[in-house]
Structure 1
């Protein structure tokens, strides 16, 4: 059974946390996570090591991700999303999708979604 209290604690996710979680649908080590987040966000989110490892520590402690291996030199730790981490990511995706679906008509009907207005 999923911990609803923990799920509510995390939602809504920050943009950075969302990208970190989504990047871990397959195992990655720290540098790989930084690259994947930058790729997924089209360069909008760029993580430094301090930010990333602080976030990974908290996410691991709370059980959203888990360490799956450490290479011999112990500097490369690989992580993967847990079941609760996937559920939180899925709920955030649904939340964002709902926001867009419920409001896109406002921008479309008012002509806000054209290049002349910069949107």
Structure 2
């Protein structure tokens, strides 16, 4: 079943919103934040990043707050904050389900 637009976020999308929860940033700052936050596990290229930023702007999750030459600075909106928090909650449920399933497997195998 195809994912509805913005129903759930990709990992990259989630991390972009996470960065903007820290404050307004331009694309280079967002990419650097992701690299630092994930210990280089999440490296995002410019094409992917600016595609995400365009989608988020269209959906009303972020807004452009400053343009200086080619540098564009973005801020998260209330709608974007809600999308981030909703996805965070969904991911926590996924992890909890996986941990519960793993604990059950261990009990069944006698490896508690």
Taking structure 1 as the reference length, the TM-score comes to 0.77
2:61 — aligned with what?
64
> Structure 2: 5+ residue runs without aligned partners?
107-112
- Matches of 2:47 and 2:98, distance apart in 1: 36
Which residue of 78, 82, 90 maps to 1:83? 78
How do 1:34-45 and structure 2 match up within 5 A? Answer: 34-45=31-42
SS where residue 38 of structure 1 aligns?
helix
- Matches of 1:100 and 1:78, distance apart in 2: 33
> Structure 1: 5+ residue runs without aligned partners?
1-7, 112-119
Which residue of 98, 101, 107 maps to 1:103? 98
Taking structure 2 as the reference length, the TM-score comes to 0.81
CA RMSD, Structure 1 to Structure 2 (Å): 1.6
1:55 — aligned with what?
52
